[in-house]
Amino acid sequence: MMKRCLENKVILELNNDGRLDCKENVVLEYYLLENELESPEGFIGKKAYGIEIVKNINEKFVEGESIKNCSIYKESTLEFLNKLARNTVTPIGLLYSFDDCSGI
């Protein structure tokens, strides 16, 4: 069973000159995913962690992306998730950011 926990939320507000693509504030939500592994041998019952980023406008879902089971280390996964939030990575950039990272 997959658990999903909101760890960080970033609100992107419009500048005075309205430089964002939309006229409403964008909310990025960063979730830690936790899953109990069912295979391979030796890992059954252990936990794996992943990341999900969700983009909302006007409290409505616009897009989302996730990476499941990317690490068995919760702390390093949280560290990477917080780095994504600090750099306001959107769902479309999650996979590119993960590929650029040498592993978590």
- Residues with Cβ < 8 Å from 30, sequence gap 6 or more? 6, 7, 8, 9, 10, 51, 52, 53, 81, 82, 84, 85
Contact 67, 100 (CB under 8 A): no
- What is the value of pTM for the model shown? 0.85
pLDDT tens column, 62-89 = 999 999 988 999 999 999 999 999 999 9
3-state secondary structure 51-93: EEEEEEECCEEEEEEEEEEEECCHHHHHHHHHHHHHCCCCHHH
pLDDT score of 53? 98
